[in-house]
Amino acid sequence: MPNYRVAVDSLTGKHGRIHYRGDTVTDEQFISAEELAKQGFLEKFIVIEEKIELKPEPKLEDFTRGTLMDRLKEAGVKFSPNSSKVELFEIWKKL
């Protein structure tokens, strides 16, 4: 179902309800929302729902010490070659 945004200062809909500029309304709130859009009283828009997947935060167990060292080198980060896996992971998380 298309949505509309009120494009004029105020607009009376069904049952005498007043909608104001910028309000989001639907077809059901007017006798002929499509006609009101053609006349410039409403602006038609379509809501697109976007699914966002959140990636889980990386865990220390997901990496080897060597992998962390490689990633830090690729990023140009200087670190002590004697650093522990935990220390390397903490440095990498800050990138």
Residue 48 has pLDDT above 80, yes or no: no
Distance of CA 4 to the CA centre of its chain: 21
Amino acid 45: pLDDT: 84
Domain boundaries, the chain: 3-45, 60-93
Beta sheet of 24-26, edge-to-edge order: 24-26, 3-6, 42-45
Write down how long the chain is: 95
Amino acid 1: pLDDT: 63
What's the token pair of residue 81?
A: 């070659």
Arithmetic mean of pLDDT over the chain: 90
Q: How confident is the model at residue 91 (pLDDT cuts 50, 70, 90)?
A: very high
89 with 57: CB under 8 angstroms? no
Residue 31 has pLDDT above 70, yes or no: yes
